[in-house]
């Protein structure tokens, strides 16, 4: 690149061309397309970009896989705080006692039963309504991903049934509705080899 | 526990958005699956920014703790990778600022402790450097503030605005520093060729 003060003889600055490569925006694209100087500068920065991408990939590989010891040791140190959510009262056996279960525990229950439904897996799940008020009408919103090839409507119905059953068994919530939204269809139920990177 | 905990193998199959949803609900195993998936690029970015493998792992750990706490603020769960990298970038810069405070006599940034394998090998040292080796060497010669912009752009894929926020400078400064970094690197790489 021959230039003085980072400005090409045609008047374009190298700053403009560098930004153009990042954003695709420049004040005079017609000039850039036709100007040999601009094209030469873009070629040069473009060759650099190829090498930059190569270095990035190389260093990500050198960083190791997410299933290696270094990540395990980081994860062991994390001590993630629990997310209990709201307190959900239960009718105590002895009057005067206070019994509650946490929203977080109920969401974990829902995940565990829906994950056991063949062909499905749960994402975000919400209890809508005032769960702290005994008898209040509660709506369950569950996001579900279904594996490719599974009958979506039937799987969604199984998920709904499982959620209804576990909430009936394990809570005193007054469930008004259970909405199951299929948000994704997943391929490859059984991976040939586990890979850390997506 | 009722039922089995989320099997890690199964979680590794799930798309980011679904794992984020579960992690927001409190599923630590889903969060760990996200950490395993995006940890390597976070680590690579932190190594480049801090210039130290040990500091990089501290940064990744801090970034993950922050991510767990703030996960419910992530508006687009599909964009979790970029979000984790933005946190990694901020934590790395904080780390550098703290380190600077604690080592006032040493103005020089310590570079990566372990030189690339090729360089420590006397036989291949005589051989011509590879393209990426030459680029690494050129990067090490860049002024620190230009290199930070470069890493946040090339490794973390951040926009000029995001880089500006991370470094607490204007977007115009980011644009200028990035361009100067690229001009220098491009010239050095042409000479290498």
Mean pLDDT across A11-40: 90
- The domain that holds B34 is classified in CATH as 1.10.1740.10
Same domain, B81 and B157: no
User: How much of chain A exceeds pLDDT 90, in percent?
Assistant: 65
Q: How confident is the model at residue A50 (pLDDT cuts 50, 70, 90)?
A: very high
Contact A129, A138 (CB under 8 A): yes
Q: In whole angstroms, what is the distance from residue A196 CA to residue B16 CA?
A: 13
Contacts of A75-79 with C-beta under 8 Å, sequence gap 24+, read A75/B32, A75/B35, A75/B64, A77/B61, A78/B61, A78/B64, A78/B65, A78/B68
For residue range B149-166, list pLDDT tens digits in order: 999 999 999 999 999 999
Same domain, B79 and B14: yes
Using a CB–CB cutoff of 8 Å, tell me whether B27 touches chain A: yes
Same domain, B97 and B136: no
Same domain, B25 and B84: yes
Determine the distance from the C-alpha atom of residue A38 to the mean position of all C-alpha atoms in its chain, rounded to a whole number. 40
Interface test with B, best of A17, A57, A83, A171 (most B CBs within 10 A): A83
Same domain, B139 and B82: no
Instruction: Quote the pLDDT of residue B1.
Output: 35
Same domain, B98 and B137: no
Q: What is the mean pLDDT of chain A?
A: 89
The pair of three-digit structure tokens given for residue A47, joined into one six-digit string: 């060759």
Partner-chain residue, chosen from A19, A109, A194, that has the shortest CB–CB distance to B9: A194
In chain B, the number of structural domains is 2
Residues of chain A neighbouring B135 (CB-CB closer than 8 A)? 51-52, 55
Contact A105, A143 (CB under 8 A): no
Contact B179 A19 (CB under 8 A): yes
What CA–CA distances, in Å, run from B48 to A129, A175, B54? 48, 52, 12
Partner-chain residue, chosen from A19, A48, A71, that has the shortest CB–CB distance to B189: A48
In chain A, where the domains are located: 1-80, 87-186
Mean pLDDT across B115-133: 60
Establish if B45 belongs to a structural domain: yes
A190 vs B79, more confident: B79
Same domain, B14 and B96: yes
ipTM higher than the 0.90 cut: no
Q: In whole angstroms, what is the distance from residue B116 CA to residue B121 CA?
A: 9
The pair of three-digit structure tokens given for residue B153, joined into one six-digit string: 């752009």
Beta bridge partners, A121, equal: A145
Contact B65 A109 (CB under 8 A): no
Contacts of A86-92 with C-beta under 8 Å, sequence gap 24+, read A86/A131, A86/A132, A87/A132, A88/A131, A88/A132, A88/A171, A88/A173, A89/A132, A89/A134, A90/A171, A90/A172, A91/A134, A91/A172
User: How much of chain B exceeds pLDDT 90, in percent?
Assistant: 71
Establish if B2 belongs to a structural domain: no
Same domain, B43 and B98: yes
Contact B85, B93 (CB under 8 A): no
Same domain, B137 and B94: no
Residues 6+ apart with CB under 8 A from B12: A191, A194, A195, B33, B36, B37
What CA–CA distances, in Å, run from A137 to A102, A127, B138? 17, 10, 65
Establish if B123 belongs to a structural domain: no
- Indicate the pairing of strand A137-147 with strand A120-128: antiparallel
Please give the helix or strand (H or E) that residue A186 lies within, else none: strand A174-186
For residue range A99-141, list pLDDT tens digits in order: 899 999 999 999 999 999 988 999 999 999 999 999 999 999 9
Beta bridge partners, A88, equal: A101
Instruction: Quote the pLDDT of residue B117.
Output: 46
Instruction: Quote the pLDDT of residue A91.
Output: 87
Q: How confident is the model at residue B114 (pLDDT cuts 50, 70, 90)?
A: very low
Residues of chain A neighbouring B58 (CB-CB closer than 8 A)? none
Residues of chain A neighbouring B28 (CB-CB closer than 8 A)? 80
Q: State residue A27 phi and psi, 5-degree precision.
A: -65, -35
The pair of three-digit structure tokens given for residue B25, joined into one six-digit string: 């609900």
Contact A123, A183 (CB under 8 A): yes
Q: Mapping DSSP to helix (H, G, I), strand (E, B) and coil, where does residue A169 land?
A: helix
A87-186 — its CATH code? 3.30.70.1350
Q: A30 CA to chain B: closest CA distance, Å?
A: 21
Same domain, B82 and B152: no
Same domain, B61 and B133: no
- Indicate the pairing of strand A99-102 with strand A120-128: unpaired
Same domain, B55 and B134: no
Asked which of A36-50, A150-164, A176-190 is least confident by mean pLDDT, the reply is A176-190
For residue range A166-197, list pLDDT tens digits in order: 999 999 999 999 999 999 998 865 544 544 44
Range of the domain at B61: 10-103
Q: In whole angstroms, what is the distance from residue A3 CA to residue A13 CA?
A: 9
Establish if B4 belongs to a structural domain: no
Contact A46, A21 (CB under 8 A): yes
A residues 146..165 contacting B (CB < 8 A): none
In b/e form, how buried is each residue of A31-65, taking b as 16+ CB within 10 angstroms? ebeebebbeebbebbeebbebbeebbebbbeebbe
The pair of three-digit structure tokens given for residue B161, joined into one six-digit string: 């605005």
Q: Which of B88, B103, B118 is the last residue of a domain?
A: B103
Instruction: Quote the pLDDT of residue B7.
Output: 62
Q: Mapping DSSP to helix (H, G, I), strand (E, B) and coil, where does residue A137 land?
A: strand
Q: How confident is the model at residue B59 (pLDDT cuts 50, 70, 90)?
A: very high
Contact B18 A51 (CB under 8 A): no
């Amino acid at each position: 690149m021959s230039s003085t003060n980072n400005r090409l003889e045609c008047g374009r600055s190298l700053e403009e061309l560098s930004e153009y490569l990042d954003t695709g925006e420049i004040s005079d694209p017609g000039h850039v397309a036709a100007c040999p100087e601009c094209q030469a500068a873009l070629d040069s920065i473009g060759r650099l970009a190829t090498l930059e991408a190569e270095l990035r990939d190389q260093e990500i590989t050198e960083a190791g896989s997410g299933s290696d010891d270094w990540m395990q040791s980081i994860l062991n140190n994390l001590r993630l705080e629990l997310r209990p959510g709201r307190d959900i009262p239960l009718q105590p056996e002895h009057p005067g006692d206070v019994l509650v279960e946490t929203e977080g525990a109920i969401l974990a229950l829902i995940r565990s039963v829906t994950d056991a439904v063949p062909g499905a897996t749960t994402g975000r799940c919400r209890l809508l309504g005032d769960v702290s008020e005994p008898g209040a009408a509660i709506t369950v919103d569950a996001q579900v991903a279904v594996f490719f090839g599974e009958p979506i409507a039937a799987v969604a119905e199984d998920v709904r049934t499982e959620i209804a059953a576990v909430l009936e068994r394990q809570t005193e919530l007054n469930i008004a509705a259970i909405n199951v939204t299929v948000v994704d269809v997943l391929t490859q139920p059984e991976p040939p080899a586990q890979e850390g990177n997506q | 526990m009722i039922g089995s905990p989320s099997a890690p193998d199964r979680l590794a199959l799930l798309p980011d958005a679904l794992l984020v949803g579960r992690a927001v609900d409190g599923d630590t195993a889903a969060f760990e699956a996200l950490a395993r998936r995006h940890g390597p690029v976070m680590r690579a970015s932190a190594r480049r920014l801090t210039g130290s493998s040990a500091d990089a792992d501290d940064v990744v750990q801090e970034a993950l703790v922050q991510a767990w706490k703030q996960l419910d603020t992530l508006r687009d769960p599909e964009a979790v990778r970029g979000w984790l990298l933005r946190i990694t970038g901020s934590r790395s810069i904080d780390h550098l600022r703290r380190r600077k405070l604690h080592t006032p006599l040493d103005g020089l940034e310590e570079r990566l402790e372990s030189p690339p394998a090729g360089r420590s090998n006397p036989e291949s040292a005589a051989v011509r450097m590879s393209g990426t080796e030459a680029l690494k060497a050129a990067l090490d010669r860049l002024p620190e503030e230009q290199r930070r912009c470069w890493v946040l752009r090339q490794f973390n894929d951040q926009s000029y605005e995001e880089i500006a926020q991370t470094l607490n400078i204007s977007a115009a400064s980011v644009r200028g520093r990035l361009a100067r970094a690229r001009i220098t690197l491009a010239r050095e790489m042409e000479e290498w060729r």
